[in-house]
Amino acid sequence: MSKRPPSLPAQAHDMRMQMALRQIDFGAAPRPATAAPKPQAPDDALALKRRDWLADVQERQRALSPYASGLLTAEHLSGEDFLHSFYAPGRPVLIKGAMAGWPALDLWTPDYLAETVGDAMIEFQGDRSRAADYELAKDRHKMRGRFRDFIAMVRHGGNNAYLTAYNSAANGPALAPLQADLGHLNAYLTRAPGMLWIGGEGTFTPLHFDLTNNMLAQVTGTKRVILIPPSQTRRLAHKAHVFSEVRDVTDEARLALYPQARDVLRYEVLLTPGDLLFVPIGWWHQVRLESFATMLTYTGFHWPNVGYEGYPAG
Ligand SMILES: O=C(O)CCC(=O)C(=O)O
């Protein structure tokens, strides 16, 4: 008689796997993050080459599985699944349906916004057509005006004026009447308010990454977002702060200047009303408005979100 145990059904195999993972401490409390590593010495070229080599090898390995690479779309994503599959691994995801029922989705037209906020004074980013570095030199472009006039300026398109997350600290009281039109995303986020973006067709945010994890919540209109994993950084001429000299990976003129960016690994998403896009810390992104658009960026996740501490800004 054979001594071999009978083969296990698939479920039992799963259970064994889970037990094994527990034994190697999978269920233990997370270890505190180690201190930020010292920045690389600028002359440590070999170390940088080795790091880039590993990033390429790992990206090729991820490409073996559609579950491990690519941009997934999810519906009915629980907070726990979001944490384990996306937030903790630092992987973007497009979440559909989570904003269903938010009154803003029906209400936020340019006319409604202008009527609701009226002549309250707001801060926005202006005069952007004058200088290509309008994101890097944010402070130089801060302007003030009546909200109604701002809407009149952006409703017909152009990249000259944009109300951005950077202006949100100054705009809290003026924009407060819009709060009642927003719902909550309790599975992923605390009740900390989001930061509002309002702009017209053709508005463009150049390629950069953020020092926090961000949840983008599209309310009105459409935005085309290009996402590029951190593994591609060496192709993106990363010099000033969190910006890429390439600026726009769809612009032939820029690609002619930075040809290494032509074959960068990238994902493209069209954000439509009611979509959430999770953009993990360090993921490059550029955004183009394809119509008048309003969106909120949230950073108040239920889990730590403090990557900016210790960033070697240069
Ligand atoms: O929507 C935009 O123009 C830019 C959004 C963005 O970069 C962000 O929220 O991190």
Which tens digit of pLDDT belongs to each residue from 129-165? Answer: 888 888 888 889 999 999 999 999 999 999 999 999 9
* 210-236 tens-digit pLDDT: 999 999 999 999 999 999 999 999 999
- The predicted pLDDT at position 134 comes to 87
- The predicted pLDDT at position 279 comes to 98
Whether the CB of 285 sits within 6 Å of ligand 1? yes
Taking the centre of ligand 1 as the mean of its atom positions, its distance from the CA of residue 287, in whole angstroms, is 6
Whether the CB of 166 sits within 6 Å of ligand 1? no
Whether the CB of 123 sits within 6 Å of ligand 1? no
Is the pLDDT assigned to residue 17 strictly greater than 70?
no
The angle, 0 to 180 degrees and rounded to 10, between the axes of the packed helices 110-117 and 147-154 is 170
Which atom of ligand 1 lies at the shortest distance from residue 203's CA? 3
Averaged pLDDT of the chain: 89
Whether the CB of 151 sits within 6 Å of ligand 1? no
Whether the CB of 163 sits within 6 Å of ligand 1? no
Task: Quickly state the pLDDT bin for 24 (edges 50, 70, 90).
Answer: very low
Query: How far is residue 118's CA from residue 120's CA, in Å, rounded to a whole number?
Result: 6
Whether the CB of 205 sits within 6 Å of ligand 1? yes
Contacts of 218 (CB under 8 A, 6+ apart): 271, 272, 273, 274, 275, 276, 277, 293, 295
Whether the CB of 231 sits within 6 Å of ligand 1? no
User: If you average pLDDT over residues 14-33, what whole number do you get?
Assistant: 49
**Structure tokens, 118:** 């009226």
Q: What backbone phi and psi angles, to 5 degrees, belong to 124?
A: -150, 175
C-beta of residue 299 within 8 angstroms of C-beta of residue 251: no
Contacts of 156 (CB under 8 A, 6+ apart): 200
Taking the centre of ligand 1 as the mean of its atom positions, its distance from the CA of residue 195, in whole angstroms, is 10
* 293-310 tens-digit pLDDT: 999 999 999 999 988 888
Level-2 CATH architecture, domain 74-298: Sandwich (2.60)
**CB hemisphere CA count around 291 (13 angstroms):** 12
For residue 48, the surrounding DSSP H or E stretch is helix 45-62
Distance in angstroms between the alpha carbons of the first and the last residue of the chain: 71
Whether the CB of 195 sits within 6 Å of ligand 1? no
Is the pLDDT assigned to residue 30 strictly greater than 70?
no
CA 40 to chain centre: 26
Taking the centre of ligand 1 as the mean of its atom positions, its distance from the CA of residue 282, in whole angstroms, is 13
Task: Quickly state the pLDDT bin for 16 (edges 50, 70, 90).
Answer: very low
Whether the CB of 294 sits within 6 Å of ligand 1? no
Taking the centre of ligand 1 as the mean of its atom positions, its distance from the CA of residue 242, in whole angstroms, is 13
* 59-111 tens-digit pLDDT: 999 999 988 898 999 999 999 999 999 999 999 999 999 999 999 999 999 99
C-beta of residue 120 within 8 angstroms of C-beta of residue 147: yes
Taking the centre of ligand 1 as the mean of its atom positions, its distance from the CA of residue 297, in whole angstroms, is 7
Whether the CB of 209 sits within 6 Å of ligand 1? no
Largest CA distance in the chain: 88
C-beta of residue 208 within 8 angstroms of C-beta of residue 243: yes
Which atom of ligand 1 lies at the shortest distance from residue 285's CA? 7
**CB hemisphere CA count around 111 (13 angstroms):** 1
Whether the CB of 197 sits within 6 Å of ligand 1? yes
Which atom of ligand 1 lies at the shortest distance from residue 165's CA? 9
- Ligand 1, atom 8, lies closest to the CA of 297
Taking the centre of ligand 1 as the mean of its atom positions, its distance from the CA of residue 5, in whole angstroms, is 56
Query: How far is residue 178's CA from residue 115's CA, in Å, rounded to a whole number?
Result: 11
